[in-house]
Amino acid sequence: MELRVEVDTKSGFCYGVVRAIKEAEVFLDGNEKLYSLGSIVHNNTELSRLRKRGMEVVTHKDIEQLKNSVIFIRAHGEPPSSYEIAARNNLKLIDCTCPVVLKLQERIKDSYTKLRRVNGQLLIFGKQGHAEVNGLVGQVEGDAIIIENIQDLIKVDFTRPISIFSQTTKDPQEYKEICDMIREKVVMAGGLLDNFKSHNTICGQVSSRHPHLKEFSKKHSVILFVTGKESSNGKILYECCKTANPRSYSIESTDEIHREWFMDGDSVGVCGATSTPMWLLEDVAHFLTDKL
């Protein structure tokens, strides 16, 4: 089959993931084993590559039992309780919390201190149970309301002061809609708009991909979006492609590609999430040109 294939040069790992993987590899160059607290990326192909090099993914429960080992903290960050376990068990840390996430954790802590003085509420727009969100909520001892969607606003008292922050990988448009709805509800409840503070903390590495992927998707007849099934950022960016081009398919590897998706002469765009390695996008492109 004759296909024209373009790999999106703006896809691939974001800065935080590149930094984390580099640190892990440097350590594994001189050591046999590195315990990673949670998966370093939501991408099975990349995980299996690192597993072969000596990285073992462990859970929070596992590290309670580990002693005198080296633990890797991924870009998503961790709540203070993880650092307490590490100190108790004499675990050495390679802390690769992304600086953007670290700053967000600090901002949340500061804002919470101010909100407490005025009986305010801290809201986090994010996915319940997501590692980054757990790390953020941990900064305020769990005293935050997680907003996954507009329905969750039922948990909020609109007559009291409100500050909202976003998980770094959320959809900017959805965040704006949530904030607009909060403003409306504050007015309806007779509250003061000055008491509502919205902090747009979506990472620039993610928000800049939305308009770009929209254009990239429109440019091609078919889009293959490569992402791990667990990646929340992958799901959001894939939706962005699918809206711009209905012939968009989300795949984790070349095994999931179906010949029926293509017609002779199609132009195919290959792109991915912030946790998708560039080498995997190139593999997909080679598969399309050489094996289909």
Q: What is the set of active-site residues?
A: 132
Stretch near ligand SF4 under the rule CB under 6 A, chosen from 82-90, 106-114, 181-189, 202-210 = 202-210
Whole-angstrom Cα distance, residue 22 to residue 283? 21
Query: Residue 259 Cβ, how far from ligand SF4 at the closest point, in Å?
Result: 34
Does the protein bind ligand SF4 through residue 274 (CB under 6 A)?
yes
Please say which residue, 121 or 275, places its beta carbon nearer to ligand SF4.
275
With contact defined as beta carbons under 8 Å apart, do 13 and 278 qualify?
yes
Residues 4-33 contacting ligand SF4, CB under 6 A: 14-17
Q: Tell me the two tokens of residue 207.
A: 């928000």
- Residue nearest to ligand SF4 as judged by C-beta position: 16
Q: Is 111 a residue that touches ligand SF4 (CB under 6 A)?
A: no
Q: Is 75 in the site for ligand SF4 (CB under 6 A)?
A: yes
Measured from the CB atom, the residue of 82 and 169 that comes closer to ligand SF4 is 169
Which has the closest alpha carbon to 280: 61, 80, 41, 58? 41
Q: Which residue has the tokens 């790390």?
A: 135
- Binding residue count for ligand SF4, defined by CB under 6 A: 14
Q: Name the residue type at position 191.
A: G
Q: Give the DSSP letter string of 11-55.
A: -S--HHHHHHHHHHHHHHHH-S-EEEES-SSS-HHHHHHHHHHTE
Q: How far is the CB of 13 from ligand SF4 (least distance, A)?
A: 8
Contact status: 276 vs ligand SF4 (CB under 6 A): no
- Is residue 133 within the footprint of ligand SF4 (CB under 6 A)? no
Q: Is-contact 23 5, C-beta < 8 A?
A: no
**Segment contacting ligand SF4 by CB under 6 A, of 200-208, 250-258, 259-267, 282-290:** 200-208
For residues 102 and 42, the answer to whether their CB atoms sit within 8 Å is no
Residue 157 identity (one-letter amino acid): D
Pick 111 or 205: Cβ nearer ligand SF4: 205
Say how far apart CA 28 and CA 53 lie, in whole Å: 7
Q: Hey, what are 53's tokens?
A: 């090099």
Position among 43, 134, 163, 205 found at the interface with ligand SF4 (CB under 6 A) = 205
- Which whole-number Å values give the CA distances from 71 to 94, 96, 207, 279, in the listed order? 6, 10, 30, 26
Q: Which is nearer to ligand SF4, 162 or 203 (CB)?
A: 203
User: Which residue number, 163 or 231, has a Cβ lying nearer to ligand SF4?
Assistant: 231
Please, what is the minimum distance in Å from the beta carbon of residue 238 to ligand SF4? 16
**From the list 123, 203, 280, 285, which residue makes contact with ligand SF4 (rule: CB under 6 A)?**
203
Instruction: Measure the CA–CA gap between 243 and 245, rounded to whole angstroms.
Output: 6
Given the rule CB under 6 A, which residues bind ligand SF4? 14-17, 75, 98, 100-101, 168-169, 203, 205-206, 274
